[in-house]
């Protein structure tokens, strides 16, 4: 029997208080995610249970029990406190998937500060934009990433502390830098956890939009209620599970379901901190006896490409349950996983802003391959007419996904950008910005995004950010960035540019520009192709018509350009 039991039964009389009761929380109580994920689990007699099994390059391994996690998060919290970091201040985590990232996250929350995780492959410009918007007080990082921080240091007077978790003394520390060794520090047995309340700010994740700079998504400690229950009912975690979430905590999946969900349930999780290869992933599942695996469509498609012969070399019989998130999970991938792993990947749909799963498939429910499934109990979902924003009461008819606001993990605002936050609502519905339709049985089917944001391998990239960065290259006069179809990543970034006089449009220049973006922004944002043009299509007012180039890439009808011209 799965944790959810029957989906239909759960829908009846559902109330979020189910999770509150299980967590021993009452309205008005203190609630602190850091405490729930460590101290409380120890109080339940699981102090010696493994919380984290970490594996790095070359099979290097580290293990931490829930008591280790409790002590180390205390120690980090206390270290930050001694530096003078106050409640509500933003502390950035800028690290590979090392134990300090997972445990540091809890430490920041225990202090009552705000955890701001950022993907460690971000280049200096991506980093700067996000630290600047958040006016981050401290950043916890590794030697290998600190040069990116140093490069932008002068522009960040608010950033008082750069904490190095792997300082080895070989070179002197520079301005504002300080060393902290999580395992060797004297462990703090008792730390007075900050008396955070339901609405206290907990996490700040950055997400990319079509226009403007990335937006800081504000989450609060009460998000735990839905993260806990979705983990329990959808990921179906049980006490003896070995859980593997492949996402990086630089993104929301890696925090909501790579830290908070599993640890609030006292589950052992493992982390593989190496790059992707089908072989190393299968090896990891076999070695760690992974039972529950939460991954992403691009990874699954890459595994499909690697072929079935490889799978036969491993014993993957420990796998009990699989789920996926981040981008459309095509029917073929679901059918394939059922064939080779004897279990289908269950698709889940949500986003940084929703904080927890919204539409999903449930253990025990009939799976329709290619569908995102049904709303989580307690979530009122619909598909809305694109003009009137009224629910479309007709099955199979496409429209905009809409959610009734008010579930526990919903973002509270965009950091210092309430105006954009308000634009996410129409007719009392929250609009995630995606299009879908609902079938006769109430299953949701994804159609596409309602904006120009590129979803490459499950990561959102803003065309605006890439276009702006391209313009900073000495050779580029104009730029337009769109998604290009791709077998594995679904979409990749493609740039169209015109060059300034005197620069030569050749392969060498293409490589130079690609590298420029990779370093400045990130490998994800790097265009996979740069096409040179003599001019780019523009409206009469001079705005570049991205949509024309997009249609060309996808072999779609361009439609009525005359309306675009007046945009």
Q: Nearer to ligand WT7 by C-beta: 225 or 372?
A: 372
Q: Nearer to ligand WT7 by C-beta: 89 or 353?
A: 353
Q: Nearer to ligand WT7 by C-beta: 68 or 347?
A: 347
Q: Nearer to ligand WT7 by C-beta: 35 or 233?
A: 233
Pairing of strands 444-449, 425-426: unpaired
Tell me how crowded residue 3 is: count the other CB atoms within 10 A of its CB: 17
For the bound state, the minimum distance from the C-beta of residue 461 to ligand WT7, rounded and expressed in Å, comes to 10
For the bound state, the minimum distance from the C-beta of residue 353 to ligand WT7, rounded and expressed in Å, comes to 7
Locate 532 and state its tokens. 């040179």
The C-alpha atoms of residue 238 and residue 10 are separated, in whole angstroms, by: 18
For the bound state, the minimum distance from the C-beta of residue 565 to ligand WT7, rounded and expressed in Å, comes to 28
For the bound state, the minimum distance from the C-beta of residue 224 to ligand WT7, rounded and expressed in Å, comes to 17
Judged by DSSP in three states, 52 sits in strand
Pairing of strands 459-461, 454-456: antiparallel
For the bound state, the minimum distance from the C-beta of residue 517 to ligand WT7, rounded and expressed in Å, comes to 19
The C-alpha atoms of residue 163 and residue 260 are separated, in whole angstroms, by: 23
- Exposure string of 258-289, with b = 16+ CB inside 10 Å and e = fewer, is bbbbbbbbbbbbbbbbbeeebeebbbbbbbbe
For the bound state, the minimum distance from the C-beta of residue 509 to ligand WT7, rounded and expressed in Å, comes to 31
Picking from 323, 335, 402, 332, the residue whose alpha carbon sits closest to that of residue 361 is 323
Q: Nearer to ligand WT7 by C-beta: 113 or 483?
A: 483
Reported as type and span, the H/E element at residue 425 is strand 425-426
Phi, psi torsion values for 305, nearest 5 degrees:
-65, -35
- Give 456's Cβ-side CA count (13 Å radius): 22
Picking from 103, 46, 41, the residue whose alpha carbon sits closest to that of residue 75 is 103
Q: Nearer to ligand WT7 by C-beta: 99 or 326?
A: 326
For the bound state, the minimum distance from the C-beta of residue 207 to ligand WT7, rounded and expressed in Å, comes to 5
Give the footprint of ligand WT7 on this chain (CB under 6 A): 207, 252-253, 325-329, 347-352, 372, 432-434, 446, 449, 455, 460
Residue pair 380/403 in contact (Cβ under 8 Å)? The answer is yes
For the bound state, the minimum distance from the C-beta of residue 567 to ligand WT7, rounded and expressed in Å, comes to 23
Q: Nearer to ligand WT7 by C-beta: 109 or 346?
A: 346
Q: Nearer to ligand WT7 by C-beta: 72 or 232?
A: 232
The C-alpha atoms of residue 216 and residue 139 are separated, in whole angstroms, by: 16
Q: Nearer to ligand WT7 by C-beta: 463 or 537?
A: 463
For the bound state, the minimum distance from the C-beta of residue 61 to ligand WT7, rounded and expressed in Å, comes to 28
Q: What CA dihedral angle connects 34, 39, 42 and 44, to 10 degrees?
A: -90
Q: Nearer to ligand WT7 by C-beta: 74 or 256?
A: 256
Residue pair 119/248 in contact (Cβ under 8 Å)? The answer is yes
Burial class (CB in 10 A: 0-12, 13-18, 19+), 34: buried
For the bound state, the minimum distance from the C-beta of residue 158 to ligand WT7, rounded and expressed in Å, comes to 26
């Amino acid at each position: 029997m799965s944790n959810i039991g029957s989906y239909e039964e759960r829908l009846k009389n559902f109330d979020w208080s189910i999770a509150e009761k299980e967590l021993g929380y009452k309205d008005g109580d203190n609630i602190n995610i850091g405490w729930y994920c460590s101290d409380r689990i120890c109080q339940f007699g699981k102090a010696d249970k493994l919380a984290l099994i970490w594996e790095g390059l070359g099979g290097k391994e580290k293990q931490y029990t829930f008591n280790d996690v409790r002590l180390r998060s205390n120690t980090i919290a206390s270290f930050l406190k001694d530096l003078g970091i106050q409640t509500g201040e933003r502390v950035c985590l800028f690290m590979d998937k090392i134990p300090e990232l997972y445990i540091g996250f809890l430490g920041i929350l225990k202090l009552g500060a705000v955890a701001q995780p950022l993907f460690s492959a971000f280049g200096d410009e991506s980093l700067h934009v996000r630290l600047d918007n958040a006016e981050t007080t401290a950043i916890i990082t590794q030697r290998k990433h600190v040069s990116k921080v140093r490069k932008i240091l002068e522009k960040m007077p608010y950033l008082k502390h750069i904490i190095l978790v792997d300082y080895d003394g070989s070179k002197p520390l520079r301005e504002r830098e300080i060393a902290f060794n999580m395992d060797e520090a004297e462990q703090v047995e008792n730390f007075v956890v900050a008396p955070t309340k339901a609405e206290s700010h907990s996490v700040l994740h950055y997400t990319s939009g079509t226009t403007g700079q990335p937006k800081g998504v504000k989450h609060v400690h009460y998000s735990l209620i839905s993260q806990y229950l979705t983990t329990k009912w959808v990921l179906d975690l049980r006490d003896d599970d070995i859980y593997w979430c492949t996402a990086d905590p630089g993104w929301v999946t890696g925090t909501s379901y790579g830290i908070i969900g599993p640890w609030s349930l006292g589950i052992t999780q493992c982390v593989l901190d190496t790059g992707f290869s089908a072989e190393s992933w299968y090896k990891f599942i076999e070695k760690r006896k992974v039972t529950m695996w939460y991954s992403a469509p691009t990874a699954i498609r890459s595994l499909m490409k690697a072929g079935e012969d490889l799978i036969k070399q491993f014993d993957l019989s420990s796998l009990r349950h699989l789920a996926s998130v981040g981008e459309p999970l095509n029917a073929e991938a679901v059918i394939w996983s059922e064939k080779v792993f004897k279990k289908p990947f269950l698709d889940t749909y949500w986003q940084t802003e929703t904080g927890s799963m919204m539409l999903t498939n449930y253990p025990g429910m009939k799976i329709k391959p290619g569908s995102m499934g049904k709303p989580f109990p307690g979530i009122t979902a619909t598909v809305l007419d694109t003009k009137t924003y009224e629910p479309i009461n007709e099955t199979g008819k496409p429209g905009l996904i809409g959610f009734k606001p008010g579930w526990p993990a919903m973002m509270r605002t965009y950091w210092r950008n309430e105006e954009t936050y308000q634009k996410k609502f129409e007719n009392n519905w929250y609009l995630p910005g995606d299009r879908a339709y609902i079938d006769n049985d109430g299953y949701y089917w994804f159609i596409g995004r309602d904006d120009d944001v590129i979803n490459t391998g499950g990561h959102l990239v803003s065309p605006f950010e890439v276009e702006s960065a391209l313009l900073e290259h000495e050779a580029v006069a104009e730029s337009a960035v769109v998604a290009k179809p791709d077998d594995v990543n679904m979409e990749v970034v493609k740039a169209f540019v015109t060059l300034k006089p005197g620069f030569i449009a050749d392969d060498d220049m293409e490589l130079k520009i690609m590298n420029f973006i990779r370093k400045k922004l990130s490998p994800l944002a790097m265009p996979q192709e740069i096409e040179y043009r003599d001019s780019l299509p523009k409206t009469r007012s001079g705005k570049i018509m991205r949509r024309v180039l997009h249609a060309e890439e996808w072999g779609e009808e361009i439609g009525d350009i005359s309306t675009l011209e007046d945009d």
